[in-house]
Structure 1
Amino acid sequence: MAICEKEWENLHLETYLYRMNDFSILSDTADSFLILKKNGQLAYISEECQRFIGYSVEEIKTMKISDIFQPSSLNEENSYFKEFARDSLCHSDIHIRAKSGELIHVQLTAFPIILHKAIIGSYAVIKEMTHHKEQKFMSEKQAVAGQLAAGIAHEIRNPMTAIKGFLQLMMRDYKGKKASYFEIIKSEIERIELILKELMVLAKPNKVFYKNVNLDSLLEQILTLMRSQALLNDIEIEAAYCFEDASIYGDENQLKQVFINYIKNAIEAMTDGGKILIEGEFLSENQVIIRIVDQGPGIPAEILERISEPFFTTKEQGTGLGMPVSYQIIKEHKGDMLISSSSTGTSVEVVLPRES
């Protein structure tokens, strides 16, 4: 009796799993990995992965890929990873949801299981993001920024204050036809002051005032500020969240700065208009996620890799400090941030702890 292709794949995958003890490429005790069926069902979890995310082999067999990986990282059918080719080796930074509900930032490597020249499933190897990049960022880039900020504060801020003061006196007394030149000078001085301020945040964060901040109220205030700018650019901002008066513990002004920066970036990316979606949900009793999704052209991989580096920018008038400052604020709030991007848009996910 003939069997369909799906049954053939499942039969061979089960046989493959039975012979896992002979598999030498991955060690079941050393590597944290899942085995996926082509329809998105989970078929197996290694011992290390069980310890990592908390699920047993029996639990995994009743689950789908969308139960662990964020929907925003999956294709439309929720059967595989967005922008990944099933027949090749692919890498990405991604969030997974542990059994506890905690969202964990991991490095994902996915590649096919091939038997008799046919793909019968896939491996998903996950490794928790180490602090290596963050430590390197802090020790090299941010240390340099701190040194520069200290020097700039001493060498530039005082004379800049004097220049600005005399300029204001000249603007008050000048009656000629070239007053617009003074406005340009004033504007550039204010831009220098903004750069100095952001440098000082990297070097020595401002004093913060932590309290329980109502999430719905915080986001509504931010959207009220940003909707007018969005409308001027033919962009609609759609809100899809309801936190039911839940709060997070943090500095309200700093949190506003973070989300305004991300929404502003989304607006600037959508030169042809469109829609920005602001989503939010509870990840667990202890975490929330807020997601900003735009319909821009996406961020090239080589830029995405450097997006949190101080002074790196692709904007003509950019300082290259908005993203690293925002990321630092999130880390100080014991949260995390992940950016994923494709040709159809960019998604910024911010994970924050609930109120203390």
Structure 2
Amino acid sequence: MISKTSHRSRTSLHTSPWIIIGSVSILLIVVVVLAYQNYSREKKYMSRILSEKGAAIIKAVEAGARTGMMGMMWGGQQVQTLLEETARLPDVFYISVVNSNGLVLASSNRGLIGTQMSGGLPEKGLNQPEATNWRYKRIDDQRNAFEVYRSFRPVSHRDTWMGDRMRHMMRGRGMMMGPDNDWFLPSASGDSDQIILVGLDPQPFEEGRKEDIRNTAIISGVLILLGLAGFISMFWMQGYRSAKKSLQDTSAIKDQVVTSLPVGLIATDKDGKIAFYNSAAERITGLDLAQARGKEPDSVLPSHLCGLKESLDLGESINEKEMECEFTENKIVPVSISASEIINEEGQFVGQVLIIRDLGEVRRLQGEIRRKEKLAAIGGLAAGVAHEIRNPLSSIKGIASYYKSKFEDGSEDKEMAGVMIEEVDRLSRVISELLEFARPTKLNKKLSDMNELLKHSTRLVEQEAAAKKVDIQLNLTSDSIEADVDPDRLTQCFLNLFLNALQAMESGGRLTVSSSTGANGNVAIDIKDNGSGISAEGLSKIFDPYFTTKPKGTGLGLAIVHKIIEAHQGQIKVRSTSGQGTVFSIALPLGDSEMRLS
């Protein structure tokens, strides 16, 4: 790796003069382009300022002429005087008015009146009477003028009647009419257009532009020198930067890989202090390892690293050892731990690494598999047993009914025969539940209103709830919630849960039924009671077949409920505190899918 880097550095130094020349040339072009853009921008700025100044002078002359004509009946001589006085403003060379043939009608320079305008008429903008235009014009051997021009109409050509009226009034006052006095008035035909030209001195702006050009040239030279020095320094530092970048890339890859690992990783330095950890280690252990950096592992982890410290101190490696560690109080986590020492290329000890894998999900899946295997075995056994028992039970019930009819009313024998019939019926119900639990049945799904199903199910237990002094409270959504379900099967589930809740509230209480829509597109149903509750040990077995806390229960009711909810691709969970009550939470998808009871 070192030899390759050195070779690249030597190659770069050998070719660097040509690269530097090319780079400096590019930089020079960039500087020239920027300087030209700056020159053009200054020129545009100067043109705009002078153009606006010329336009303001033209408007002032027009306004003065118009005011004089309207208020004091000015003639051409007075307008001529106005031009001469206005031309005395700073940086104004001349002000002239010419007709469409280039004949000078009035000018601040009286010697030009009656002559043809030098340089000819402007070539652009004459077809736009209201627009102000400009051009550069040479006025002598040493001076240029910035000439601003536009149409000159103290009285608009649209108001030709005004010109006629002015002439009439001037004649009425005895004023002499002629080219010296009425040249600025529009004729009856309205075709007597004049052009006013204002020559301005651009020298102050030219000097400013030259100063900017000098400054730009100095700055450009400095930039070129700095760029040259920068390029040379860049190639000198190429080897260093290449090695540094390679190291940074390797470090970034290492950090990304370690951070993204799904297993927890904790590393110590050669002094045995925690030097590194990833987010998975914090998630699995539930510890804030940021506070543990630089500390002994025993100060935050379980004592002796869950019993592995002795093996690590002896230099032994640990591979996938499963155990249960109590990282935080009252929280035992099943984990698989691997650990080993970190030895560098020179054989020196630099630390230890501990890899922790959470086995909680694995244990849960294993338990689920065992549960399903047990349910499958129980289902097969139940189907066989139910088939063998049902026929003898029918015979026993028939014989008991026969003898009951032979005994006298009120006799002990007749009472015993009745008890026998009742026990046979109870066994028959147990067998029916066994068959229902074992039999795969297709769901007859249809679009159903979940709120209506809940209302219908609660009405079926209203009388029993009233007898036990239990108040039923419905907290259903105001909008209907429609889902693709089997309404009969769900009604069976709800009734089973309602009856269990009523049996848990023998001294009265409240049964609360709630519905809502979840953020993930599910319908959520909560069935809550404030009865005797379920112990922590019973919660883990609540959905197992034949597990019951009732003296006469079969232990199949909740197992069937769990099976029906799973067939709908839903989930059912239970929360309970002994002596305070129980909550069953059901989540069902709203969408349509083909599902079968298995």
Give the alignment partner of residue 351 of structure 1, picking from 566, 569, 587. 587
Give the equivalent residue in structure 2 for 1:167. 400
Pairing of 1:182-331 with structure 2 (within 5 A): 182-242=417-477, 244-284=479-519, 286-331=521-566
Contact 1:216 1:243 in 2 (8 A): no
Give the alignment partner of residue 147 of structure 1, picking from 346, 357, 380. 380
1:333 Cα deviation (Å)?
A: 0.8
Give the alignment partner of residue 372 of structure 2, picking from 130, 135, 138. 138
Post-superposition CA distance 1:291-350 (Å, at most 9, x none): 011111321101111111111112110001111111011101111011011242111101
1:31 Cα deviation (Å)?
A: 7.0
Give the equivalent residue in structure 2 for 1:99. none
Q: Distance in 2 between matches of 1:322 and 1:31?
A: 41
1:351 Cα deviation (Å)?
A: 0.7
Q: Distance in 1 between matches of 2:543 and 2:530?
A: 21
Q: Distance in 1 between matches of 2:429 and 2:278?
A: 52
Quote the sequence identity (%): 30
Q: 1:235 to 1:166 in 2, by over 3 A?
A: same
1:247 Cα deviation (Å)?
A: 1.8
Q: 1:137 to 1:31 in 2, by over 3 A?
A: farther
Q: Distance in 1 between matches of 2:389 and 2:499?
A: 29
1:32 Cα deviation (Å)?
A: 5.5
| Unpaired segments ≥5 residues, structure 2 | 1-258, 268-276, 288-327, 335-357, 593-598
Q: Distance in 1 between matches of 2:461 and 2:422?
A: 22
1:250 Cα deviation (Å)?
A: 1.9
Q: 1:305 to 1:35 in 2, by over 3 A?
A: closer
1:34 Cα deviation (Å)?
A: 12
Q: Distance in 2 between matches of 1:176 and 1:210?
A: 50
2:585 aligned counterpart, secondary structure:
strand
Give the equivalent residue in structure 2 for 1:28. 279
Give the equivalent residue in structure 1 for 2:243. none
Report runs of 4+ in structure 1 exceeding 6 Å deviation. Answer: 33-36
| CA RMSD across the alignment | 3.2
Give the equivalent residue in structure 2 for 1:333. 568
| Unpaired segments ≥5 residues, structure 1 | 1-20, 37-86, 93-106, 108-124
Q: Distance in 1 between matches of 2:424 and 2:508?
A: 32
Larger RCO, structures 1/2 (Cα 8 Å, 6+ apart): 1
Amino acid at match of 1:153: A
1:153 Cα deviation (Å)?
A: 2.5
Pairing of 1:26-65 with structure 2 (within 5 A): 27-29=278-280
1:258 aligned counterpart, secondary structure:
helix
Post-superposition CA distance 1:191-237 (Å, at most 9, x none): 11111111112222344322122212111111101121111111101
Amino acid at match of 1:158: N
Post-superposition CA distance 1:140-173 (Å, at most 9, x none): 2x12312321221231111112222343444455
1:279 Cα deviation (Å)?
A: 0.9
1:270 Cα deviation (Å)?
A: 1.4
1:212 aligned counterpart, secondary structure:
strand
Aligned: 1:342 with 2:577: yes
Contact 1:340 1:348 in 2 (8 A): yes
TM-score (ref. length: structure 2): 0.39
Give the alignment partner of residue 409 of structure 2, picking from 176, 180, 183. 176
Q: 1:257 to 1:31 in 2, by over 3 A?
A: farther
Contact 1:276 1:293 in 2 (8 A): yes
Q: Distance in 2 between matches of 1:201 and 1:243?
A: 35
Give the equivalent residue in structure 1 for 2:178. none
Amino acid at match of 1:159: P
Give the helix-richer structure, 1 or 2: 2
1:310 aligned counterpart, secondary structure:
coil
Q: 1:143 to 1:35 in 2, by over 3 A?
A: closer
Give the equivalent residue in structure 1 for 2:59. none
Contact 1:248 1:354 in 2 (8 A): yes
Contact 1:297 1:345 in 2 (8 A): yes
Q: Distance in 1 between matches of 2:441 and 2:408?
A: 41
In terms of Rg, which structure is larger? 2
Task: Tell me whether 276-285 or 23-32 shows the greater mean CA deviation.
Answer: 23-32
Q: Distance in 2 between matches of 1:241 and 1:35?
A: 38
1:35 Cα deviation (Å)?
A: 9.0
Q: Distance in 1 between matches of 2:377 and 2:368?
A: 14
Q: Distance in 1 between matches of 2:283 and 2:565?
A: 27
Q: 1:34 to 1:280 in 2, by over 3 A?
A: farther
Q: 1:90 to 1:266 in 2, by over 3 A?
A: farther
Contact 2:531 2:582 in 1 (8 A): yes
Amino acid at match of 2:279: D
TM-score (ref. length: structure 1): 0.63
